[in-house]
Structure 1
Amino acid sequence: MACDATNENAVNELRRRKGRAGKPFAVMFANLTTLKRYCEVNEEEAALLTGHEKPIVLLKIKAKTNIAHFVAPDMDTLGAMLPYTPLHHLLLDQADEKLQAQYAPPVLVMTSGNFSEEPIAIDNEDALERLAPLADAFLLHDRDIHVRCDDSVARVDGEELVFLRRARGYAPYPVSLPFDSRPTLAVGGELKNTFCLTRDRYAFLSQHIGDMENAEVYESFEKNVEQLSHLFRVEPEIVAHDMHPGYFTTTFAERLNVRRVPVQHHHAHIAACMADNKLDNRKVIGLSFDGTGYGTDGAIWGGEVLLASYADFERVAHLQYLPLPGGDSATRHPWRIAVGYAEALGLELNDLPFMQALDAKAVEIVRQQVRKELNAPRTSSMGRLFDAVASLGGVRSDVSYEAQAAIELEVLSKQFVNGAAPYPYQIKDGIVLLGDLLQGVIDDVRSNQPAGLIGARFHQTLCAMAVDICKSTRNDTGINEVALSGGVWQNQTLLTLTRERLSNGNFVVYSHNQTPANDGGLALGQAVIANYSS
């Protein structure tokens, strides 16, 4: 799907039809010269943009461009890419340099041919029927598409490539393993699904499949497993899957007539980071920070410090358990998390600005859920803590896509982060207590501090907290290597702060390069753990 990225009406109409309220769109530019009029581009980013893989690259957008605001609302970055098919070149007139000298080439939103949360249409007949309400016109082709494959999304971190989504151009290029593996299938997680096949010293990760809650995505997953297994001649002797009993991937694994290995979600994250960095089977301190993962105690984990190897793990610290009113539905309404956390901790919120826009009856229902422990599962999630702070600070009470509140909080924080003082916090018996931290946020809101400063202090707090726990763990164990994994580490501000502080403290720090830190890299960790299971 394409539209004029400089036309606000066209972009808004595409959002309306596609059902994509706020998530940023990617933009295609005719060439690097045109792109540089709109975005800051360094040498490493230019090399990535012009390489043969042609991913979408996150770039800092320049001030006062004519890109429509609603292409990437409330963002300071833009997902930019260059043409990678002959059709793209024709659309953008890149082939005619004389024409380009006379007028500025068009700048186009380029997004997948689907409604939000549905698989990409890959068949002409299906597209004409299913996407008729979405597209004004169709350009059809007689060349069949056999496999759905999204664009890869990446950014440059220093001089390193970092994946947010690993797909076209990179998958299924193998990750080299530091050990000989048995034929293994790891089916990944429920969200941002990828799967992994291992053979000898190679791990073949699939392209981004998507969120498995959609029946068509699940069918695509099954087809891709069959195709890649045949392509790489892997007949699995082991199938690894998430411990969560309700995942569709778990159900798929249970149907296979091979040995099953359930793998804890956050252990898989740390193992993926270790394999990404070609580590052998030794223990590291793993900071596994994300939104949701099924814990060994049945609670929702997500702010975990593990002592982990491929063979096993020990949970040495975690965020304080707090209630998640409404369960998974709360992730779409950060205000519910903020109110639920405050109710559990005995914090007063009624005078805060974000509360004034909320329905009083809805607020009381959330508080009753917490008091009576009704549909309010316990969570130690770092992602949910970001949501709570973003809501308290007035950034966003409701979201239209995953991690929107946290992403916008980071954007606002960047100008304040250097020199911002951390909030107070306590660590007791391996549990990070959050009452003092959230009270500090509330006090800053009451004193009318800007949301960006509150966010900056919050980022500094998490960094200080992580470093303190790592130092304490090193004192107890002598382990000096730290692996950072989980979707929260896609936050570049937090990653840079923490990595630098840990390195200054003489830690060896590992993060992801070949695979995403989010659940898109989870299957790699599942596969290597399964190969070390007895």
Structure 2
Amino acid sequence: MQPNLKRIQYRVRGQVQGVGFRPFVYQLAWDLGLTGWVLNDQEGVLIEVQGSTTNAFLDALHKQAPALSRIQSIEEKEIEKKENEAVFLIRESECGDVQTDIIPDAAICPDCLSEMRDPNDRRYGYPFLNCTHCGPRYTITHSLPYDRAQTSMAAFEMCPACEAEYRDPTNRRFHAQPTCCPNCGPRLSMDISEIANRIRQGQILAIKGLGGFHLVCDAHNETAIEKLRKRKNRAAKPFAVMVADCKGINSFAKLDKDEQALLESPERPIVLLRKKKSNLPDTIAPNLNRIGVMLPYTPLHYLIMDALRGRPLVMTSANPGGEPLVIANDEAEHRLSNIADAIVTHNRDILIRVDDSVVRHDLSGPTVLRSARGFTPRPIALTQDTSSILGLGAFLKNTICLTRANHAYLSQHIGDLDNVATLCFQEETFDHLRKILHVDPVLAVHDLHPDFASTRFAHSLGIETFAVQHHHAHIASVLAEHQIDGPVIGLALDGFGLGDNGKSWGGELFKVDGLNCTRIGHLRPLAQPGGDKAAVEPWRMGASALHALGRRDEIDSRFAGHDTQTLKLMLDKGLNSPQTSSMGRLFDAACGLLGVCEIAQYEGHAPMMLESLVSRIEVDPQGWHLEENGVLNLLSLLNTLCERTAQSGANLFHGTLVFALADWVEQACTKHNISRVALSGGCFLNEILSQGLKRKLQQAGLEVYLNQHVPLSDAGLSLGQVWLGQQKLLRDGS
């Protein structure tokens, strides 16, 4: 035995199963003349190598790992050498209490795409080919370790040719669990040529994909788009567009290199791009300056695109309005037959529904607006290690979050908890995530609001519960994502969250230090006539602003066609007009006063239209003042808007808001001697607001943090909840 021979055991943790990690290790060991073995087990990948090049082996593990892998840690220890070992082997997986990660679904890789388009390849034109570098993962997996028997591909017995590839360590399909071919894999219910012909004819198709069905039609066919809107009861909410490649985007949207990198990444999210004037119908994203665009990410998408010669397609989630994404074939026939002209299925089961992710690239880099396919269930590292905790989110844009040791796993987008189907989806997601992670939570953290369905679900689990204030959780989500300890000034801006005093909050300034959260300021409250109705009818908040400004007599003329007499009576007597400090309602007031949007068709509709009008920001130095009790008063700004046109008012509102908020936060930081600021809440989805405020605060010498890999909206709330749950367990010593 050589004198410098070593035997090293490596424990690799992270996203290392189902990504071709074992064949990578196998090939690397052979190239370096090492013997030993590699296997998947409950903690990740375990490796033993013996030889004189172990240092080079470790260096290559870090630098050359497969593209889809994400190594969290590599532990190494020297162990006793073995005599007469001549080869390196891949051993069978070992089961147990699983601690490894399942990776998200990944877009088709270049090699598979090339095979699919090669007439001489046995997988030519096959819509379900994949390899260790691409294809379905999370959506087809029952449990870990990630082996074929644990996936919905277990129903398909591999043919001899696929079996040979699967067993060949030099083949990129070595141990590719979903691998298949036309002879042994799933089948499509309709020929690609017929799918393409139906789309050309103006039909709407429901097509089963990776994490659910899409509703698909020709993006140039305005009649088909209007038909889709009517059938889906989606009057104005924007649709996403799929294009064959980035070259097809330049005719209707601006695209920079960072946005292109996002579009072409294995995650393949919908990316929000700035519109250009084009021949695409404005009805795709009406009255907005951005359009959601994505590239094909499955072989089926590419086959359809090839058949249509790259014609852009409207591609939106296949679900009746407000309900979860459809995933099962019989479910599609039942729920989509009144929307789609034809339904295209296949016989590979989707085990968990996962929608498309939505991302924007701004000055902070990629900002995830909806975390789903491609990102879920990627772990978020936490600074503490505790028993498992469940965060149940809030009412709107619900997600759940589950911890295992020092990692948090944010679920895919679930939706608004306002119907039975979505409530069932929330439970389904919890059961699947718990099974995948092999954990049982000891604590369920929920919103302070007692009537939220997520709160009731927490109490139904039979474990300890913990209620946390909505906006405290928003700020905590930033602290969790950026691993921040110690005090921060937190600014939470959104539409609604129940305050500690039982009132409607949404424009809040806090001093936050772990579980300790002190409200040190808030927006001057406005009456919300009609309660929740004012959140969908911005004219009501415009009228409320006029009333507060002493301009009651203008309500009738400005909002003719609405029941202004009843509304004025409500405001005069304070009937069904609760006070709210919500920034979301302040945006609505501005939209109402400027005549931008009097009735909203979806959440955020009016503010998004207002943001789309901005050409350049303006600032009114007299538009705000800070009151002694920490209240930010913006009535002067609203008063000035009454005399502005829509675009001029949008410019002034955004610019003045950024400067006012910066002034407010800077004074709080000085008073409390804190230099770190955390910003969160749905209003920060407004890029002009979030990036303008961040830049202004940084110019003042402050450290500024926003959610980036976790949504700024209520979809990121569950992460903040589990972070606060950890603080509670650590405080209580449990």
TM-score by length of 2: 0.68
**CA distance, structure 1, for counterparts of residue 455 and residue 300 of structure 2:** 40
**1:125 maps to which residue?**
330
- Do 1:344 and 1:370's aligned partners in 2 also have CA atoms closer than 8 Å? no
**Range with greater deviation from structure 2 (520-529 or 139-148):** 139-148
Task: Give the letter for the 1:340 counterpart.
Answer: S
Given the superposition, is the C-alpha separation of residues 135 and 250 from structure 1 closer, same or farther in structure 2, using an over 3 Å criterion?
Answer: same
Q: Which ranges in structure 1 are unaligned for 5 or more consecutive residues?
A: none
Given the superposition, is the C-alpha separation of residues 24 and 353 from structure 1 closer, same or farther in structure 2, using an over 3 Å criterion?
Answer: farther
**2:299 maps to which residue?**
86
- Do 1:271 and 1:529's aligned partners in 2 also have CA atoms closer than 8 Å? yes
**CA distance, structure 2, for counterparts of residue 312 and residue 256 of structure 1:** 27
- Do 1:194 and 1:208's aligned partners in 2 also have CA atoms closer than 8 Å? yes
**1:337 maps to which residue?**
541
Partner residue of 1:425 out of 624, 635, 659? 624
Partner residue of 2:683 out of 485, 488, 495? 488
**2:352 maps to which residue?**
147
Residues 341-380 of structure 1: matches in 2 within 5 Å?
Answer: 341-348=545-552, 350=554, 354-356=558-560, 358-359=561-562, 362-380=563-581
Q: Does 1:498 align with 2:693?
A: yes
**CA distance, structure 2, for counterparts of residue 158 and residue 503 of structure 1:** 13
**CA distance, structure 2, for counterparts of residue 406 and residue 310 of structure 1:** 32
Deviation, structure 1 residue 291: 0.4
**CA distance, structure 1, for counterparts of residue 353 and residue 499 of structure 2:** 32
Deviation, structure 1 residue 355: 2.2
Partner residue of 1:12 out of 226, 230, 244? 226
Residues 265-284 of structure 1: matches in 2 within 5 Å?
Answer: 265-280=470-485, 282-284=486-488
Q: How many residues end up aligned between the 2 structures?
A: 514
**CA distance, structure 2, for counterparts of residue 164 and residue 482 of structure 1:** 20
**1:35 maps to which residue?**
249
Q: Which ranges in structure 2 are unaligned for 5 or more consecutive residues?
A: 1-214
**1:2 maps to which residue?**
216
Q: Does 1:521 align with 2:720?
A: no
Residues 131-280 of structure 1: matches in 2 within 5 Å?
Answer: 131-158=336-363, 160-280=365-485
**Range with greater deviation from structure 2 (238-247 or 117-126):** 117-126
Alpha-carbon deviations, 1:398-423, whole Å to 9, x = none? 1101111101101101x131x44355
Alpha-carbon deviations, 1:90-132, whole Å to 9, x = none? 11117xxxx95xxxx2110001111211112212222112211
Partner residue of 1:21 out of 235, 255, 258? 235
Given the superposition, is the C-alpha separation of residues 66 and 353 from structure 1 closer, same or farther in structure 2, using an over 3 Å criterion?
Answer: farther
**1:510 maps to which residue?**
705
**CA distance, structure 2, for counterparts of residue 286 and residue 224 of structure 1:** 30
Given the superposition, is the C-alpha separation of residues 62 and 353 from structure 1 closer, same or farther in structure 2, using an over 3 Å criterion?
Answer: farther
Task: Give the letter for the 2:236 counterpart.
Answer: G
Given the superposition, is the C-alpha separation of residues 499 and 353 from structure 1 closer, same or farther in structure 2, using an over 3 Å criterion?
Answer: farther
Task: Give the letter for the 2:531 counterpart.
Answer: G
RMSD: 1.5
Q: Does 1:322 align with 2:526?
A: yes
**CA distance, structure 1, for counterparts of residue 570 and residue 299 of structure 2:** 56
**1:116 maps to which residue?**
321
Given the superposition, is the C-alpha separation of residues 521 and 221 from structure 1 closer, same or farther in structure 2, using an over 3 Å criterion?
Answer: same
**2:87 maps to which residue?**
none
**CA distance, structure 1, for counterparts of residue 246 and residue 636 of structure 2:** 49
- Do 2:360 and 2:368's aligned partners in 1 also have CA atoms closer than 8 Å? yes
Task: Give the letter for the 1:137 counterpart.
Answer: A
Deviation, structure 1 residue 301: 0.2
Alpha-carbon deviations, 1:212-244, whole Å to 9, x = none? 111100001001101111211221111100000
**2:640 maps to which residue?**
440
**1:477 maps to which residue?**
672
- Do 2:287 and 2:609's aligned partners in 1 also have CA atoms closer than 8 Å? yes
**CA distance, structure 1, for counterparts of residue 264 and residue 451 of structure 2:** 42
Deviation, structure 1 residue 377: 1.5
Task: Give the letter for the 1:262 counterpart.
Answer: A
Q: Secondary structure at the match of 1:308?
A: strand
Task: Give the letter for the 1:424 counterpart.
Answer: G
Alpha-carbon deviations, 1:342-365, whole Å to 9, x = none? 224422462787423x33xx1111
- Do 1:27 and 1:110's aligned partners in 2 also have CA atoms closer than 8 Å? yes
**CA distance, structure 1, for counterparts of residue 363 and residue 635 of structure 2:** 36
Q: Secondary structure at the match of 1:287?
A: strand
Task: Give the letter for the 1:324 counterpart.
Answer: Q
- Do 1:416 and 1:452's aligned partners in 2 also have CA atoms closer than 8 Å? no
